[in-house]
């Protein structure tokens, strides 16, 4: 098969895969979009419903308290009239009585249909129309005998005042009466009755909607469970809620029946139900006067009115969302077509770049191999050179020491001392180079044995103290050692190569001596102990009060050739680090927290049983 044929097959397969991916992505996105949309709408409806219930409960409670307050004021007015001096003296028809009633009616009787006065024989001696009442709202006339009215009989026989009558219809107006017996304050003789009539429609309509069933409306019951407001249906007015007519109207809905039954028992609450006219949210509260429930109010909200604006907004959002999805899908299709065309040119470019990369990699491999060979040769050369240097250094160092010791010419002492000192430095350098090559080639060998760090440090410090006294007569550098061990420091034993330990400690001491002040200084060597888990560690610290560690090189202090002095090779600390870690220890360096200078230290695990 030719390269062109394979290219065409590859392109066709790529197009097919692209189409399948677009269909899968589009379908998945649409399903996810519909799910998220439904979930969001459901959440919004739920939150709106919960907010409506909370808000409606507050509104119902506020309406109940407002009605209770207004009726309480009217009751107080009637009570005041019943106990006024005029009525107590039997003055039921004078101008003074008229003025008293008129004053109270104008100030407190805005929603009263009429206020009236009956004598002890239940004859109307006085009546007055309310300030906002119509002629149809009044039906009492002076001289009427009301003995047979039930609310008159109840007012005469009941001991509690005031008396609230049940709602009833008279002359096309539905109303209720509030009455107070007029009792002689001394003899308790019943002198008459003072009362007020209130038309339920005008009165309760001031607190909310009573007729439009498409919006939130109020339904009010008297104590017998009779509906005393007109909730959009004149046939329900005056009907008992649990009577056949109303039960047929609400379809015997159990939720609404239980809610209303609870209301008539004096309980507030809410419920959601549907008796065939749409879902409704109903909240309720009793209307208390002087602490007794006299009427009961329900606030009813059709959820259709609650969700109507929301549905319109959600529909618009759906249109926007699906339009956006369609536009995005079209954009994806165009992008896929563009990508398929672009992939062909990209394929050719990738082939070209791959070939170039292959050639570059080949050249890099060859160069790397050459570097490896050069590095190996360099290490071998350094190793050989170090060995070759060490061979002549030993006799030079030995003979120099003999000449220094046997020289009688004082004028030559300083020159011989320079030769001897530099021969020692050269020997140390060759030894360091050999150690570095052993570390780099992983050929470093250790001869571990139990070592008492305390005795070793005492010995090394004593040797250095002698050397300092001999070489630094004028610098007055002081070197001290002390242990901070709980118990006997002689028992601090580690498993280590003693020659390498001496090398590590000597390197750290040489480093401290190099950076101490020229006019003299103080170097402190300490031995401490610490515990980590179940293991004990001995830590050796060399503390100087010289220049401190340069922040520029601190991060690379233990790497090869890292130094900030002119007379150091940069190998000493590198060797210390590798020699400590080869024996299972750790090494550190930091500026002296007590002032100038630096702290170099390491730790090793203490042998069990020490």
80-89, 158-167, 339-348, 385-394: range with lowest mean pLDDT: 385-394
CA distance 541 to 509: 10
Residues 263-297 have pLDDT tens digits of 999 999 999 999 887 888 999 999 999 889 999 99
Instruction: Provide the token pair at 484.
Output: 């901070």
Residues 6+ apart with CB under 8 A from 475: 518, 519, 520, 521
pLDDT in the model for residue 254? 94
Q: 129 and 113 in contact (C-beta within 8 Å)?
A: yes
Please give the average per-residue pLDDT across 411-431, as a whole number.
Answer: 67
Whether the predicted model's global pTM rises above the 0.75 cut:
no
pLDDT level of residue 566 (50, 70, 90 thresholds): very low
Of 338 and 377, which is predicted with more confidence? 338
Contact 514, 567 (CB under 8 A): yes
CA-angle at 436, arms to 435 and 442, nearest 5°: 90
pLDDT of residue 64: 92
Q: Angle, nearest 10°, between helix axes 453-471 and 498-514? A: 40
What pLDDT, in 10s, does the model give residues 444-461?
788 899 999 999 999 999
Q: Which is more confidently placed, 567 or 425?
A: 425
Closest residue by Cα to residue 180 from 77, 73, 70: 77
pLDDT at 332 over 60: yes
Helix pair 95-108, 3-82: axis angle to 10 deg:
170
Q: Determine which helix (DSSP H) or strand (DSSP E) holds 262, and give its type and residue range.
A: helix 254-264
What was the pLDDT predicted at 378?
57
Q: For residue 563, what are the contacts with CB-CB under 8 A and spacing of at least 6?
A: 553, 569, 570
What is the pLDDT at residue 312? 65
Give the CA count within 13 Å in the CB-facing half-sphere of 91: 14
Ramachandran assignment for 492, one of left (phi > 0), alpha (psi -120 to 50 degrees), beta (any other):
beta
Q: At what angle do helices 572-582 and 498-514 cross, to 10 degrees?
A: 150
| Nearest-angstrom CA–CA distance, 175 and 138 | 10
The yes-or-no verdict on residue 426 having pLDDT over 80 is no
Query: To 10 degrees, the CA torsion angle through 345, 348, 349, 350?
Result: 120
pLDDT interval class at 31 (50, 70, 90): confident
Longest dimension (CA), the chain: 161
Domain ranges of the chain: 445-605
Q: Which residue has the higher pLDDT, 83 or 139?
A: 83
Mean pLDDT of the 345-364 span = 78
Helices and strands counted in the chain (H then E):
13, 17
Neighbours of 158 (CB within 10 A): 12
Among 19-23, 59-63, 150-154, 605-609, which is the least confidently predicted range? 19-23
Q: Are 431 and 423 in contact (CB under 8 A)?
A: no
Task: Tell me the per-residue pLDDT of 168-222, one tens digit each, with 9 for 90 and over.
Answer: 776 667 888 999 999 988 888 899 999 998 888 888 888 988 877 788 889 999 9
For the stretch 302-330, pLDDT in tens is 888 766 666 666 667 667 766 776 777 67
More confident residue, 227 or 388: 227
The mean pLDDT of 588-594, rounded to a whole number, is: 89
- Residue 77 CA to residue 194 CA, distance in Å, equals 10
218 or 409, which is more confident: 218
Average pLDDT on 76-91 reads: 90
Average pLDDT in the chain: 81
Encode pLDDT of 507-533 as tens digits: 999 888 887 755 568 899 999 999 999
**Beta 522-532 vs 535-544: how paired, if at all?**
antiparallel
Q: Which pLDDT score, from 0 to 100, does residue 474 have?
A: 52
The whole-number pLDDT of residue 481 equals 94
The single-letter DSSP state of residue 240 is B
Considering only 192-196, 251-255, 374-378, 514-518, which range has the smallest mean pLDDT? 374-378
Task: Return all residues near 334 (Cβ < 8 A) that are at least 6 apart.
Answer: none
- The pLDDT of 580-604, averaged and rounded, is 91
CATH, domain range 445-605: 3.30.565.10
pLDDT of residue 6: 61
From 43-47, 488-492, 542-546, the region with the lowest mean pLDDT: 43-47
- State the average pLDDT over residues 470-492: 81
547 or 76: which leads in pLDDT: 76
């Amino acid at each position: 098969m030719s390269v062109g044929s394979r290219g065409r097959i590859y392109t066709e397969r790529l197009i097919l895969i692209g189409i399948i991916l677009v269909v899968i992505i589009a379908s998945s996105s649409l399903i996810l979009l519909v799910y998220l949309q439904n979930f969001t709408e459901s959440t919004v409806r739920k939150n709106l419903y919960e907010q409506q219930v909370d808000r409606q409960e507050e509104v119902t409670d506020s309406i109940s308290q407002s009605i209770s307050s207004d009726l309480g004021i009217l009751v107080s007015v009637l009570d005041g009239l019943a106990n006024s001096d005029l009525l107590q003296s039997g003055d039921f028809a004078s101008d003074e009585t008229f003025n008293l009633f008129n004053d109270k009616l104008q100030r407190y009787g805005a929603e009263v249909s009429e206020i009236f006065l009956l004598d002890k024989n239940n004859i109307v001696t006085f009546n007055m129309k309310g300030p906002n009442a119509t002629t149809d709202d009044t039906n009492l006339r002076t001289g009427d005998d009301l003995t047979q009215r039930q609310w008159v009989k109840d007012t005469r026989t009941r001991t509690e005042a005031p008396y609230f009558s049940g709602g009833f219809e008279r002359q096309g107006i539905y109303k209720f009466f509030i009455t107070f017996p007029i009792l002689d304050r001394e003899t308790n003789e019943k002198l008459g009755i003072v009362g007020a009539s209130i038309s339920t429609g005008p009165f309760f309509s001031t607190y909310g909607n009573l007729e439009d069933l498409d919006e939130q409306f109020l339904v009010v019951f008297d104590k017998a469970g009779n509906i005393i407001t007109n909730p959009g249906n004149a046939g329900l007015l005056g009907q008992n809620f649990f009577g056949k007519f109303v039960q047929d109207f609400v379809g015997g809905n159990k939720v609404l029946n239980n809610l209303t039954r609870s209301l008539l028992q004096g309980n507030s609450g809410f419920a959601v139900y549907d008796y065939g006219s749409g879902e409704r949210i109903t909240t309720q509260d009793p209307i208390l006067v002087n602490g007794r429930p006299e009427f009961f109010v329900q606030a009813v909200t059709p959820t259709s009115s609650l969700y109507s604006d929301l549905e319109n907004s959600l529909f618009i959002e759906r249109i926007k969302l699906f339009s956006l999805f369609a536009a995005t899908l079209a954009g994806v299709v165009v992008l896929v077509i563009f990508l398929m065309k672009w992939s062909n040119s990209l394929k050719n470019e990738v082939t070209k770049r791959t070939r170039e990369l292959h050639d570059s990699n080949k050249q890099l491999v060859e160069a790397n191999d050459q570097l490896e060979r050069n590095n190996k040769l360099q290490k071998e050369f350094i190793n050989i050179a170090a060995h070759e240097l060490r061979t002549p250094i030993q006799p030079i160092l030995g003979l120099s020491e003999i000449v220094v010791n046997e020289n009688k010419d004082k004028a030559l002492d300083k020159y011989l001392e320079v030769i001897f000192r530099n021969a020692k430095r050269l020997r140390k350098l060759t030894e360091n180079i050999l150690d570095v090559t052993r570390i780099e080639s992983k050929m470093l060998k250790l001869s571990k044995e139990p070592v008492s760090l305390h005795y070793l440090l005492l010995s090394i410090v004593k040797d250095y103290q002698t050397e300092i006294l001999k070489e630094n007569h004028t610098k007055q550098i002081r070197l001290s050692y002390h242990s901070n061990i709980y118990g006997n420091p002689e028992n601090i034993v580690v498993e280590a190569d003693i020659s390498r330990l001496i090398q590590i400690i000597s390197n750290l001491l040489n480093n401290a001596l190099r950076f101490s002040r020229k006019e003299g200084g103080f170097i402190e060597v300490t031995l401490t102990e610490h515990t980590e888990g179940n293991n004990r560690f001995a830590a050796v610290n060399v503390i100087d009060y010289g220049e401190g560690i340069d922040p520029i090189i601190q991060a690379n202090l233990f790497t090869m050739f890292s130094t900030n002095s002119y007379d150091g090779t940069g190998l000493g600390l590198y060797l210390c680090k590798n020699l400590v870690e080869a024996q299972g220890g750790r090494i550190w360096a930091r500026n002296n927290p007590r002032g100038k200078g630096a702290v170099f230290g390491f730790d090793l695990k203490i042998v069990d049983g020490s």
